Chains A and B, each alone.
Chain A
Amino acid sequence: MINKILFQLVFFNFLLIGKVFSAESGGMPQLNPEYWISQIFWLTITFGVLYVVLSRLILPKISSNLELRKSQISDNIEAADSQRKKSESKLKEYDDIISKSKMEAKEIFIQAREKTLKEINLKRDALDKQIDEEIKRAEDEINQLKKDSPTKINKIAIDTCSEIIQKLIGANINNSSISAIVEDLSKKKGEKYYGN
């Protein structure tokens, strides 16, 4: 019984809803075939125009734009790559030049040093020789002087003695006797004064 009432309630409610819809607008406007032909027609026109314009004019342009960009980018990358390689080779060349010139500079330096050393040696040798010669000469002179000095001193002593004697006693004494004495003294004590 209750079931029946419930069923009737739902059923009539459903009918009522259907009535409301049909009363207001006749159900779904989508199912109203009044403008179907018009919609089909305009859909064909607009979509057809859209398709033609897109496929003929716009899409090829976008595609070519994309391709162009791709190729441009790859070109740029290639160019950058070649530039890099170029710069690397240049850098290597530069390094080579630097190292070569460094070696050259080293060689020049060594040569110059050797040359100057040689010159210095030569000059030193010459100077040594000169100095040696001069030392020898001086030594010779000294030797000569040393050799001559006893006789000279003796002579001076003899002269001085004779003069002193003359002044003291006023007599002229023969030089030969004085010289004999001086000779004697110098022989006795000469070694003490003159060395050698």
Chain B
Amino acid sequence: MAANPMTQFEVYRIGPEIKVGALDISFTNASLFMVISSLAILFVFNLGSKKNSLLPSKIQLLAELSYTFVSKMINDTAGTKAKPYFSFIFSLFMFVLFCNMFGMIPYTFTVTSHIIVTFMLASFIFIGVTIIGFIKHGLGYLKLFVPSGVPAILLPLIVIIEIISYLSRPISLSVRLFANMMAGHTMMKVFGGFVISLGIVGGWLPLSFSVALTGLEILVAFLQAYVFAILTCIYLNDALNLHH
């Protein structure tokens, strides 16, 4: 039988077991790809910022284009007040993007296809944004849940809906990325399995699907990183510029 499409998401230990008290923090394949992604980002951007020539080299152009891309994205969605959080959003975007893209290489592990990783990132953003909101506006940040121009009768309902939608932000943010990554990789695996099981006679159709899916998945990998970053910007915008 062809390999289970879910086995690609299995986490296994690499090297010795590391335990802090009862907590197992062993180095796993997931950790390996987190490290690889981070190092790749640092490598590319270090190379791209090392030498400043008036006519930038290709790698420098790449680094600078990414910089202006993210900075423009933040400026457009969250305004100039979000400038101090540029580094964080840039790191976030690049981390998610590189993890997604590394996952597209065969036999690699996709870090972002694990709900725990995306949920940690999303909840960190959620908590951070909430703290920023309360620091900037005090208790006035609660006005976020009370939209203006709503009839008084509807207000309790609207407030409850707003609170639920606010609290579900980390879940929607994390599940969106995780589910996209998992679904895409599972689908590719399934189609790959079809190619094997149908053999040389009927395998061409799923193979062509697989090729098309690879292109689609690369697009999704970029798009999900972008969506993740831009939603972070939007949440940050809510916290920084309270207008309801």
A contacts, CB < 8 Å to B: 21, 24-25, 27-32, 34-44, 46-47, 49-51, 53-55, 57-59, 61-66, 68-69, 72-73
Query: Are A25's CB and B54's CB within 8 A?
Result: no
Chain B, Cβ-Cβ closest to A69? B54
Distance, CA A39 to CA B87, complexed state (A): 23
B contacts, CB < 8 Å to A: 4, 6-7, 9-11, 13, 23-28, 30-31, 34-35, 37-38, 41-42, 45-46, 48-50, 52, 54, 56, 60, 63-64, 67-68, 86-88, 90-91, 94-95, 111, 113-117, 120-121, 178, 182
Query: Are A29's CB and B10's CB within 8 A?
Result: yes
Query: Are A65's CB and B49's CB within 8 A?
Result: yes
Chain A, Cβ-Cβ closest to B68? A66
- Which of B11, B23, B38 meets A29, CB within 8 Å? B11
A-B CB proximity, top 6 nearest: A55-B87, A42-B31, A61-B49, A46-B34, A65-B52, A50-B38
Query: Are B115's CB and A31's CB within 8 A?
Result: yes
Q: Which residues of the partner chain B approach A66 to less than 8 Å between Cβ atoms?
A: 64, 67-68
Query: Are B23's CB and A39's CB within 8 A?
Result: no
Query: Are A59's CB and B4's CB within 8 A?
Result: no
Query: Are A37's CB and B23's CB within 8 A?
Result: yes
Query: Are B4's CB and A58's CB within 8 A?
Result: no
Given A29-B10, A37-B23, A59-B86, A47 and B91 contact (CB-CB distance below 8 Å): yes
- Which of A39, A44, A55, A57 meets B114, CB within 8 Å? A39
Q: Which residues of the partner chain A approach B114 to less than 8 Å between Cβ atoms?
A: 30, 39
Given A58-B46, A59-B87, A39 and B11 contact (CB-CB distance below 8 Å): yes
Given A47-B95, A54-B41, A54-B45, A34 and B11 contact (CB-CB distance below 8 Å): yes
- Central interface residue in A24, A40, A54, by most chain B CB within 10 Å: A54
Shortest distance between the CB of A27 and any CB in chain B (Å): 8
Distance, CA A49 to CA B91, complexed state (A): 10
Given A29-B10, A65-B52, A69-B52, A42 and B67 contact (CB-CB distance below 8 Å): no
Query: Are B26's CB and A49's CB within 8 A?
Result: no
Chain A, Cβ-Cβ closest to B47? A58
A-B contact pairs, 22 of them (CB 8 A): A28-B182, A29-B11, A34-B11, A34-B24, A35-B13, A35-B28, A36-B116, A41-B23, A43-B120, A46-B31, A46-B38, A47-B34, A50-B38, A50-B42, A54-B41, A58-B45, A59-B86, A61-B49, A62-B48, A62-B64, A65-B49, A65-B60
Shortest distance between the CB of A48 and any CB in chain B (Å): 9
Query: Are B116's CB and A40's CB within 8 A?
Result: yes
Query: Are A47's CB and B54's CB within 8 A?
Result: no
- Which of A37, A42, A62 meets B27, CB within 8 Å? A42
Query: Are A58's CB and B42's CB within 8 A?
Result: yes
Distance, CA A40 to CA B121, complexed state (A): 9
Given A34-B24, A37-B25, A42-B25, A54 and B178 contact (CB-CB distance below 8 Å): no
Shortest distance between the CB of B50 and any CB in chain A (Å): 8
Q: Which residues of the partner chain A approach B117 to less than 8 Å between Cβ atoms?
A: 39, 43
- Which of B11, B35, B116 meets A46, CB within 8 Å? B35
Distance, CA A194 to CA B56, complexed state (A): 117
- Which of B7, B31, B88, B182 meets A39, CB within 8 Å? B31
Chain A, Cβ-Cβ closest to B60? A65
Query: Are B42's CB and A25's CB within 8 A?
Result: no
Shortest distance between the CB of A122 and any CB in chain B (Å): 75
Distance, CA A148 to CA B178, complexed state (A): 150
- Which of B49, B56, B90, B115 meets A30, CB within 8 Å? B115
Other 4 A-B pairs with CB < 8 A, given A38-B11, A72-B54: A35-B13, A42-B27, A55-B87, A62-B49
Q: Which residues of the partner chain B approach A27 to less than 8 Å between Cβ atoms?
A: 6
Given A40-B120, A63-B67, A65-B52, A35 and B26 contact (CB-CB distance below 8 Å): yes
Q: Which residues of the partner chain A approach B42 to less than 8 Å between Cβ atoms?
A: 50, 53-54, 58
